[in-house]
Amino acid sequence: MEQLTELFVILEKNQSLASAAAAMTSAAAAILALVISAAAVIATIVSTRQQRTHNILSVKPIPEVAVADFDDCLRVKLRNHGSGPLLIKALTVNFLGSSYDALIDCMPDNIAWANFAGKVNGRSLLPGNEITLVELTALQNEPNFSIPRDLVRNALSHSEIVVEYSDIYGSEFPAYGKSLDWFRRNLE
Protein backbone atom coordinates (compact mmCIF):
# COMPACT_ATOMS: atom_id res chain seq x y z
CA MET A 1 0.00 0.00 0.00
CA GLU A 2 2.87 2.29 0.77
CA GLN A 3 4.31 1.91 -2.75
CA LEU A 4 1.00 2.89 -4.32
CA THR A 5 0.92 6.04 -2.19
CA GLU A 6 4.47 6.93 -3.30
CA LEU A 7 3.42 6.49 -6.97
CA PHE A 8 0.54 8.94 -6.51
CA VAL A 9 2.86 11.46 -4.84
CA ILE A 10 5.32 11.22 -7.76
CA LEU A 11 2.54 11.65 -10.32
CA GLU A 12 1.14 14.71 -8.42
CA LYS A 13 4.55 16.39 -8.47
CA ASN A 14 5.17 15.61 -12.17
CA GLN A 15 2.00 16.43 -14.17
CA SER A 16 3.58 15.69 -17.56
CA LEU A 17 4.56 12.20 -16.42
CA ALA A 18 0.98 11.65 -15.22
CA SER A 19 -0.40 12.82 -18.58
CA ALA A 20 1.98 10.52 -20.46
CA ALA A 21 1.00 7.55 -18.28
CA ALA A 22 -2.69 8.32 -18.83
CA ALA A 23 -2.18 8.64 -22.60
CA MET A 24 -0.27 5.33 -22.74
CA THR A 25 -2.96 3.59 -20.70
CA SER A 26 -5.65 5.02 -22.95
CA ALA A 27 -3.75 3.93 -26.09
CA ALA A 28 -3.24 0.42 -24.69
CA ALA A 29 -6.99 0.16 -23.92
CA ALA A 30 -7.83 1.31 -27.47
CA ILE A 31 -5.43 -1.22 -29.03
CA LEU A 32 -6.85 -3.98 -26.84
CA ALA A 33 -10.41 -2.98 -27.89
CA LEU A 34 -9.35 -3.08 -31.57
CA VAL A 35 -7.81 -6.55 -31.18
CA ILE A 36 -10.92 -7.86 -29.43
CA SER A 37 -13.17 -6.35 -32.14
CA ALA A 38 -11.06 -7.90 -34.92
CA ALA A 39 -11.22 -11.30 -33.17
CA ALA A 40 -15.02 -10.96 -32.92
CA VAL A 41 -15.30 -10.16 -36.65
CA ILE A 42 -13.12 -13.17 -37.55
CA ALA A 43 -15.16 -15.45 -35.26
CA THR A 44 -18.38 -14.19 -36.87
CA ILE A 45 -17.06 -14.84 -40.40
CA VAL A 46 -15.93 -18.37 -39.49
CA SER A 47 -19.24 -19.10 -37.77
CA THR A 48 -21.24 -17.80 -40.75
CA ARG A 49 -19.27 -19.97 -43.18
CA GLN A 50 -19.76 -23.04 -41.00
CA GLN A 51 -23.49 -22.32 -40.72
CA ARG A 52 -23.80 -21.93 -44.50
CA THR A 53 -21.96 -25.24 -45.06
CA HIS A 54 -24.26 -26.92 -42.54
CA ASN A 55 -27.35 -25.43 -44.21
CA ILE A 56 -26.24 -26.64 -47.64
CA LEU A 57 -25.51 -30.16 -46.38
CA SER A 58 -28.76 -30.35 -44.43
CA VAL A 59 -30.91 -29.71 -47.53
CA LYS A 60 -29.14 -31.99 -49.99
CA PRO A 61 -31.38 -33.70 -52.57
CA ILE A 62 -30.70 -37.33 -53.52
CA PRO A 63 -32.44 -38.46 -56.75
CA GLU A 64 -33.34 -42.04 -57.56
CA VAL A 65 -35.08 -43.60 -60.54
CA ALA A 66 -37.19 -46.40 -59.08
CA VAL A 67 -38.57 -49.18 -61.27
CA ALA A 68 -41.24 -51.83 -60.85
CA ASP A 69 -41.74 -54.76 -63.20
CA PHE A 70 -44.62 -57.11 -62.40
CA ASP A 71 -46.88 -59.25 -64.55
CA ASP A 72 -49.73 -56.76 -64.12
CA CYS A 73 -47.84 -53.48 -63.68
CA LEU A 74 -44.79 -51.61 -65.03
CA ARG A 75 -43.66 -48.36 -63.41
CA VAL A 76 -40.79 -45.87 -63.54
CA LYS A 77 -40.64 -43.08 -60.94
CA LEU A 78 -38.25 -40.29 -60.06
CA ARG A 79 -37.89 -40.00 -56.27
CA ASN A 80 -36.11 -37.61 -53.94
CA HIS A 81 -34.50 -39.47 -51.03
CA GLY A 82 -32.62 -36.41 -49.78
CA SER A 83 -33.34 -33.97 -46.99
CA GLY A 84 -34.01 -30.95 -49.21
CA PRO A 85 -35.92 -30.07 -52.37
CA LEU A 86 -34.63 -31.47 -55.65
CA LEU A 87 -34.81 -28.86 -58.41
CA ILE A 88 -34.90 -30.63 -61.78
CA LYS A 89 -32.82 -28.67 -64.28
CA ALA A 90 -33.21 -31.26 -67.03
CA LEU A 91 -34.42 -34.82 -67.35
CA THR A 92 -33.12 -36.46 -70.51
CA VAL A 93 -34.05 -39.89 -71.83
CA ASN A 94 -31.53 -41.53 -74.15
CA PHE A 95 -33.38 -43.99 -76.35
CA LEU A 96 -31.82 -45.83 -79.30
CA GLY A 97 -29.33 -43.06 -80.05
CA SER A 98 -31.79 -40.16 -79.63
CA SER A 99 -32.52 -37.85 -76.70
CA TYR A 100 -35.98 -36.96 -75.40
CA ASP A 101 -37.29 -34.67 -72.64
CA ALA A 102 -39.85 -37.19 -71.35
CA LEU A 103 -39.89 -40.97 -70.97
CA ILE A 104 -43.41 -41.14 -72.40
CA ASP A 105 -42.04 -39.80 -75.72
CA CYS A 106 -40.02 -43.04 -76.15
CA MET A 107 -42.91 -45.39 -75.52
CA PRO A 108 -45.00 -47.26 -78.11
CA ASP A 109 -48.18 -45.65 -79.41
CA ASN A 110 -51.72 -46.76 -78.57
CA ILE A 111 -50.98 -47.76 -74.97
CA ALA A 112 -53.59 -47.13 -72.26
CA TRP A 113 -51.39 -45.66 -69.52
CA ALA A 114 -52.48 -45.66 -65.89
CA ASN A 115 -50.26 -42.61 -65.27
CA PHE A 116 -47.41 -40.72 -66.94
CA ALA A 117 -45.58 -37.42 -66.80
CA GLY A 118 -44.54 -35.28 -69.72
CA LYS A 119 -41.61 -32.88 -69.57
CA VAL A 120 -40.54 -32.33 -65.94
CA ASN A 121 -37.71 -29.84 -66.51
CA GLY A 122 -37.97 -26.94 -64.09
CA ARG A 123 -40.10 -28.83 -61.58
CA SER A 124 -39.15 -29.35 -57.96
CA LEU A 125 -39.49 -32.48 -55.90
CA LEU A 126 -39.81 -32.23 -52.13
CA PRO A 127 -38.00 -34.73 -49.88
CA GLY A 128 -39.78 -38.08 -49.87
CA ASN A 129 -41.92 -37.24 -52.90
CA GLU A 130 -41.89 -38.76 -56.37
CA ILE A 131 -43.01 -38.17 -59.94
CA THR A 132 -44.40 -41.13 -61.86
CA LEU A 133 -42.72 -40.97 -65.26
CA VAL A 134 -44.71 -43.91 -66.72
CA GLU A 135 -47.07 -46.48 -65.26
CA LEU A 136 -48.85 -49.25 -67.10
CA THR A 137 -51.36 -51.28 -65.11
CA ALA A 138 -53.55 -54.14 -66.24
CA LEU A 139 -57.27 -53.63 -65.89
CA GLN A 140 -59.12 -56.35 -64.04
CA ASN A 141 -59.41 -59.42 -66.26
CA GLU A 142 -57.83 -57.55 -69.20
CA PRO A 143 -57.21 -60.00 -72.05
CA ASN A 144 -53.87 -59.83 -73.86
CA PHE A 145 -52.24 -57.40 -71.39
CA SER A 146 -48.98 -59.21 -72.05
CA ILE A 147 -48.73 -57.64 -75.54
CA PRO A 148 -48.60 -53.95 -74.50
CA ARG A 149 -46.65 -54.89 -71.35
CA ASP A 150 -43.89 -56.56 -73.39
CA LEU A 151 -43.83 -53.71 -75.93
CA VAL A 152 -43.30 -51.25 -73.08
CA ARG A 153 -40.71 -53.52 -71.42
CA ASN A 154 -38.79 -53.61 -74.68
CA ALA A 155 -38.86 -49.82 -75.05
CA LEU A 156 -37.86 -49.32 -71.41
CA SER A 157 -35.00 -51.81 -71.73
CA HIS A 158 -33.40 -49.57 -74.38
CA SER A 159 -33.77 -46.38 -72.32
CA GLU A 160 -31.47 -44.49 -69.99
CA ILE A 161 -32.61 -41.62 -67.77
CA VAL A 162 -30.24 -38.77 -66.89
CA VAL A 163 -31.26 -36.11 -64.35
CA GLU A 164 -29.42 -32.81 -63.96
CA TYR A 165 -30.48 -31.19 -60.71
CA SER A 166 -29.59 -28.71 -57.99
CA ASP A 167 -30.62 -27.80 -54.48
CA ILE A 168 -32.23 -24.56 -53.27
CA TYR A 169 -28.78 -22.95 -53.05
CA GLY A 170 -28.01 -23.68 -56.71
CA SER A 171 -25.21 -26.10 -55.80
CA GLU A 172 -23.76 -28.14 -58.63
CA PHE A 173 -24.13 -31.92 -58.42
CA PRO A 174 -22.97 -34.55 -60.91
CA ALA A 175 -25.75 -35.72 -63.20
CA TYR A 176 -27.62 -38.79 -61.97
CA GLY A 177 -28.15 -41.50 -64.56
CA LYS A 178 -29.82 -44.89 -64.61
CA SER A 179 -30.12 -47.41 -67.40
CA LEU A 180 -33.46 -49.20 -67.58
CA ASP A 181 -31.97 -52.33 -69.15
CA TRP A 182 -33.26 -54.19 -66.06
CA PHE A 183 -36.58 -54.53 -67.89
CA ARG A 184 -34.84 -56.75 -70.47
CA ARG A 185 -34.64 -59.68 -68.02
CA ASN A 186 -38.33 -60.56 -68.56
CA LEU A 187 -38.21 -60.41 -72.37
CA GLU A 188 -37.44 -64.01 -73.22
**Spans of all domains in the chain:** 2-58, 63-186
Distance of CA 27 to the CA centre of its chain: 51
pLDDT score at 5: 80
pLDDT score at 16: 73
Element (H, E) at 45: helix 15-58
Check if the beta carbon of residue 107 is closer than 8 Å to that of residue 155. Answer: yes
The domain over range 63-186 is classified in CATH as 2.60.40: yes
The mean of the pLDDT values for the chain is 89
Per-residue pLDDT tens over the stretch 60-91: 999 999 999 998 999 999 999 999 999 999 99
In whole angstroms, give the CA distance from residue 18 to residue 14. Answer: 7
* Higher-scoring residue by pLDDT: 110, 178: 178
pLDDT score at 94: 97
Percent with pLDDT over 70 in the chain: 96
Residue 36 has pLDDT above 70, yes or no: yes
Amino acid sitting at position 91: L
pLDDT score at 177: 97
Phi-psi region of 122 (alpha: psi -120 to 50; beta: other; left: phi over 0): left
pLDDT score at 185: 86
How many other C-beta atoms are found inside a 10 Å radius of the C-beta of residue 138? 19
In whole angstroms, give the CA distance from residue 108 to residue 84. Answer: 35
In whole angstroms, give the CA distance from residue 173 to residue 87. Answer: 11
User: pTM for this one?
Assistant: 0.71
pLDDT band at 55 (very low <50, low <70, confident <90, very high): confident
Under DSSP, the state recorded for 161 is: E
Residue 11 has pLDDT above 70, yes or no: no
Kindly state the average pLDDT of the residues 111-129. Answer: 95
pLDDT score at 18: 67
pLDDT score at 143: 81
C-alpha dist (Å) from residue 155 to 12, 21, 26, 94: 101, 90, 83, 11
How many other C-beta atoms are found inside a 10 Å radius of the C-beta of residue 61? 25
